[in-house]
């Protein structure tokens, strides 16, 4: 029996991993924003946290995308 | 969290910053170790995968690892920052953020507080002044425990002062107005 992923190239497997990561991080991010939006006792702290988190996540996803495109 | 009309916050207790610093340190170690390993391990570790593909694959998984650590860091920061204990002139409010999808809120009336004990144990706890604060209430089921609280002695003093002031107001209701 051949494991189905063995038939795929490396790039295809990485694209699948990329999309799974994107879905998981998006769901986690929504939960994260929900908590900061609703429960943070300090609006400035919440806004700063959300900006830093969003920028960092975007940079990491863009870097992942860059690596995938280079393959 | 809604407060009653005229309810005054006496003290807000958080976990000590060293708790978050420890998590930051661990995440830092997990960031650096794979990076070092990538440069130490031999180039042929990926077996049949050609070198032109192995480099980007390694970079991809390292970036993915950084993404996981990044999300973990902010999940930890959320737990740390939103875990607070608020002592007002009427209530003790214990807000516990257990994870991104779990939040617990316990409220005890200040008049039900019977005793407050603190425990500072260990070198780091003593040097940085943090420890456990336990608020014993008349209800045996509700004992509010604050682990790794910053300045536990001061917290204990503030809670007991607020409790004494509440009793004073109850005995002499006209004095506080």
Interface A–B counts its CB contacts (< 8 A) at 65
A21 vs B67, B77, B84: nearest CB? B67
Look at residue A57 in the predicted model and tell me its pLDDT. Answer: 94
Name the minimum distance, in Å, from the CA of B115 to any CA of chain A.
Answer: 28
Confidence (pLDDT) at A59: 95
Predicted pLDDT of residue A64? 92
Mean pLDDT of B64-80: 92
DSSP 8-state code for residue B15: B
- CB within 8 Å: B60 and A67: yes
Instruction: Name the residue facing B100 among A25, A32, A56 (closest C-beta).
Output: A32
Nearest by Cα to B100 from A66, A30, A23, A50: A30
Annotated domain spans of chain A = 4-70
Residue to test with chain A: of B54, B56, B79, most A Cβ within 10 A: B56
pLDDT score of B55 more than 60: yes
d(CA B12, CA B17): 14
Which DSSP symbol is given to B139?
Answer: S
Does residue B169 surpass a pLDDT of 90? Answer: no
What pLDDT does residue A5 have? Answer: 54
Q: Report pLDDT for B174.
A: 65
Distance from CA of B30 to the nearest CA of A (A): 16
B97 touches chain A (CB under 8 A): yes
Give how far Cα B33 sits from Cα of A4, B56, B78, Å: 32, 19, 25
Contact B71 A67 (CB under 8 A): no
User: Which among A17, A8, A1, A6 has a CA at the least distance from the CA of A68?
Assistant: A17
> How crowded is residue B123: how many other Cβ atoms within 10 Å of its Cβ?
7
Q: Could you give the CA distance from residue B154 to residue B174 in angstroms, rounded to a whole number?
A: 29
Q: How far is CA B144 from CA A33, A35, B17, B87, B118, in A?
A: 28, 23, 20, 12, 12
């Amino acid at each position: 029996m051949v494991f189905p992923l063995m038939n795929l190239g490396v790039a295809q497997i990485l694209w699948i991993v990329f999309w799974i990561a994107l879905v998981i991080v998006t769901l986690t991010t929504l939960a994260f924003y929900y908590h900061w939006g609703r429960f943070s006792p300090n609006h400035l702290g919440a806004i700063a946290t959300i900006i830093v988190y969003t920028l960092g996540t975007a940079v990491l996803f863009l870097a992942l995308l860059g690596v995938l495109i280079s393959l | 969290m809604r407060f009653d009309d005229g309810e005054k916050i006496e003290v807000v207790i958080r976990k000590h910053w060293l708790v978050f610093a420890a998590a930051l340190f661990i995440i830092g170690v997990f960031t650096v170790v794979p990076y070092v390993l990538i440069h130490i391990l031999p180039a042929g570790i990926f077996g049949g995968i050609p070198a032109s593909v192995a480099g980007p694959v390694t970079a991809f998984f390292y970036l993915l690892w950084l993404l996981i650590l990044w999300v973990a860091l902010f999940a930890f920061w959320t737990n740390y920052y939103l875990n607070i204990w608020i002592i007002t002139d009427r209530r003790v409010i214990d807000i516990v953020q257990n994870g991104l999808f779990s939040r617990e809120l316990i409220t005890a009336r200040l008049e039900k507080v019977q005793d407050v004990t603190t425990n500072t144990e260990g070198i780091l706890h003593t040097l940085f002044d943090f420890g456990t604060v336990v608020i014993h209430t008349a209800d045996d089921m509700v004992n509010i425990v604050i682990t790794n609280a910053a300045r536990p002695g001061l917290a204990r003093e503030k809670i007991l002062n607020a409790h004494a002031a509440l009793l004073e107001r109850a005995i002499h209701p006209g004095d506080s107005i």
